[in-house]
Amino acid sequence: MPASSRKRNKGKDRKAKQLAKKEENERAFAHEIWQSVYSSTECDHGCGMVTPADDHPVSNFMDQFIINAHHKGMTVLQNLKDTLETHTHIWNNESHRKLIIDIMVCMGTNMLLHGDVNMSWVTCLVQSLIVLEKYNGTNDLDSVIHSRVVMLKWRQLYIGTKCVERDVLKFYRKRTTCKCLKNMHLEARKAIPKMGFCWGCDKDMERVLLSLCSRCMISQYCSRRCQVADWSKHESVCDQFVRQQKMNDEQTFG
């Protein structure tokens, strides 16, 4: 073999080893993150606190989920689609999916209890949980994400961090059987109004000041003027929402 070929092969081997080492470090870091947050309080919040072994399929799923969000910077939607593609057997295994939901509920609850919390991470978990809970085993995430029930819940999570805190606390409190979040949620209800945002002017405002699109019942507007101005952008999205809801209704009611 020519010297140049041997040199190229050594270079490829070196890069492959460096990449493998990087991936190993990322996985170890991700594993430590979710395990430490998951078990950071003595209360199991009614989720059972079942910690899967390091080589358990659910552990591998959680490692990849954190890697995608932290190291690869994927959006929630990109992350969910990637894990569905790479961990289809987990998504379609009800007991595994239930364990993932319990882990994420515990993680989000513990983050809120620790005070100085990164709300974007807590919200990321909420959005993922909503989809995991509504997943129908069809390997088609788009139909789940564009269903009315998921879009309505997601819609509340796109506004400012302080405003979304009330909805996030309510979400986790409804999924835990303990009283850990009770006082925090009650205080948030007193201090923070129910907020929404206008799809036309993008302004955050109290939900009582907003009206829904009567067709899709998802988009919301502060005035008729904003709704009319936004129609050229909203029309295709509105059609998609309505079409998906009709398909979901047909599957549910035959």
232 and 154, same structural domain?
no
Residue 197 phi/psi, 5° resolution? -145, 150
124 and 219, same structural domain?
no
69 and 43, same structural domain?
yes
Among 192, 211, 231, the domain-final residue is 192
pLDDT tens string 148-161: 888 888 887 765 54
**How are beta strands 204-206 and 211-212 bridged, if at all?**
unpaired
92 and 11, same structural domain?
yes
Among 158, 192, 226, the domain-final residue is 192
136 and 160, same structural domain?
yes
Collapse the DSSP code of 96 into the 3-class scheme (helix H, G, I; strand E, B; otherwise coil) and give the result. Answer: helix
Domain that holds residue 145: 3-192
Residue 2 has pLDDT above 70, yes or no: no
pLDDT tens string 9-56: 666 777 777 878 888 999 999 999 999 999 988 899 999 888 899 999
**Non-local CB neighbours of 227 within 8 Å, separated by 6+ positions:** 200, 211, 213, 221
199 and 188, same structural domain?
no
pTM value is 0.86
